[in-house]
Chains A and B, each alone.
Chain A
Amino acid sequence: MSQDALVVLSQVEKRFGALVVLRDISFSVARGKTVCIIGPSGSGKSTLLRCVNALVPVSSGSIVIDGIKVNDPALDKIALRRKVGMVFQQYNLFPHRTALQNVMMAPIHVLKQDRHEVEERARRLLAKVGLADKERAYPGELSGGQQQRVAIARSLAMNPLVMLFDEVTAALDPETKKEVLITIRELAEDGMTCMIVTHEMGFAREVADHVYFTEKGVIVEHGPPRELLLNPREERTRAFLNQVL
């Protein structure tokens, strides 16, 4: 494990009753690096992200993020959530609040920060994702891509160290996918540590420093994107990529 590893997973296992969803997951993500997790549906990718963010407790193993033990039963969830941001596939935004209010809510309610500072920061974040003119729009008035970008801005408002993306473009149509992927890429290039679950292989190749292929809850293969995506070693990886590409 390198010294500046921000996220360290060690032999993580997750069972739902008798069903084993994740088995012996061990890897680390260094600060500033971007990691993509690919694989067929049901391979446990989403569960993995949810374990990292303590939305779902692990059955065994350990996850450490910047010194915080996520699998600790006495975990301070708010301290963790300050460091980890997550964007989901859909239904991220709160429909009864405007885009700007969505971005402002958590720092005000959870972090108890000053309202004016938060508003300034929220405006800058919305401008950063290219939606400065949509401050007063409600989520129902925004396109899918715009909603996802506001969701990214909202997570960034908490100043996280790590951002998790759970198939955020899967529910979007092709035109709007692009704007979201560009936003994520800019984020990664700016130095944010990212863990991205995605089906977009082209995007993975562009943006990832390291790619993990999971199937049935196990990491089958991993490596730099050029190696894994162009020249996979394992048969299963090859089969999956043939299907997808």
Chain B
Amino acid sequence: MEGIADFFRWLADARGLNFSIFYDALDRSRFLEGLWTTVKLSVICTLLSLAIGIVGAWLQGARFAPARQLVQGYVQFFRNTPPLVQLFFFYFAVGNQLPHVLDEHGMLVPPISNVGWAILSLSLFAGAFNVEIFRAGIEAVPRAMVEAAESLGYSRLGVFWHVLLPLSFRISLPALNNNLVNLVKTTTLAYAIAVPELLYAAAQIWSEVLNVREMMNVLLVTYVALVAVLVLMMGRWERALRIPGYNP
């Protein structure tokens, strides 16, 4: 570890390439915290958006027409508007209208923080895509299989939970993984509302240390590597969950 730090200190002094995060403890900790925040944001938004996708897919099969139309409206709205504008809408517009509450210090603060709004907005955005993805998977399950499950006595919910969902999940896994990768990339939008994720942390560092060029390169490489690792893990997971004998 020390060897690496020394090397980069030398690099900064001798060649003017200042990769401060490798030798400066504060910068490094800020960078890693930003990375960790990005990971946390991604995980929470993934789980929430999956839940939204499942509920939305269930409602799209509901017999009650207004429920179906509501879900369609939600999906089309969030898929056809810019995520950044959605984020600003939630944080500045909606957030402003909510009454402030007292926090533990006795100060008036907005009830939902910028991180909270980022999670909400990004989850709704990714959730809209997931609804469509789950629906496509559900439609690949033949009607006869649903009838067979019903003949065995499963209720509508039982059929959805035990048959449709597990199958459509496996069928849609490539598309879901694609969506997850996009979500990780979309977390960078939270920079605009000062959420301390990776881009924000990097921006803080380069505005202090004035090593924009180096930090930008590190940032780019980090994101590309993060996504590459994710894609690899998703590939493994896809193979593990594969349905034997089904090769679309």
Contacts and interface: CB of A to CB of B under 8 A. Distances in A.
Interface of A: 50, 53, 55, 77-78, 81-82, 84-96, 105-106, 109-111, 138-142, 151, 154-155, 158
Interface in B140-176: 142, 144-145, 147-155, 158, 162-163, 166-167, 170
A110 B152 contact: yes
B64 interface: no
Contacts, number: 79
Contacts of B243: 95-96, 138, 140
A51 to B, nearest CB: 13
A91 B144 contact: yes
B155 to A, nearest CB: 8
Contacts of B246: 95, 140
A225 B167 CA distance: 42
Given A84-B151, A110-B153, 17 more contacts: A50-B147, A55-B147, A77-B153, A81-B153, A86-B147, A89-B144, A91-B142, A91-B145, A91-B148, A96-B166, A96-B167, A105-B152, A106-B153, A139-B245, A141-B245, A142-B245, A158-B152
Contacts of B3: none
B245 A109 contact: no
Given A110-B158, A154-B152, A141 B244 contact: yes
Contacts of A55: 147, 150-151
A155 B151 CA distance: 9
A116 to B, nearest CB: 20
B151 A81 contact: yes
A81 B153 CA distance: 5
A92 B144 contact: yes
Contacts of A151: 148
14 contacts: A55-B150, A78-B155, A88-B147, A91-B144, A94-B162, A95-B167, A95-B243, A96-B166, A109-B154, A109-B162, A140-B244, A141-B244, A154-B152, A158-B153
Contacts of A105: 152, 162
Nearest to A106: B152
B137 to A, nearest CB: 12
B237 to A, nearest CB: 15
B164 to A, nearest CB: 10
Interface of B: 142, 144-145, 147-155, 158, 162-163, 166-167, 170, 243-246
Contact of B152 (A50, A81, A139): A81
A94 B147 CA distance: 12
Contacts of B154: 106, 109-110
B134 to A, nearest CB: 15
Nearest to A139: B245
Contacts of B163: 94
Nearest to B143: A91
A111 B153 CA distance: 9
A232 B232 CA distance: 67
B146 to A, nearest CB: 9
Contacts of A90: 142, 144
Contacts of B245: 95, 138-142
Contact of B145 (A77, A82, A94, A138): A94
A48 to B, nearest CB: 14
B158 A53 contact: no
A94 B150 CA distance: 12
Given A89-B144, A91-B142, A109-B158, A155 B152 contact: yes
Contacts of A89: 144
A78 B153 contact: yes
A151 B144 CA distance: 12
Contact of A92 (B145, B153, B166): B145
A110 B158 CA distance: 9
A9 to B, nearest CB: 18
Contacts of B166: 96
Nearest to A138: B244
Contacts of A155: 151-152
B167 A88 contact: no
Contacts of A96: 166-167, 170, 243
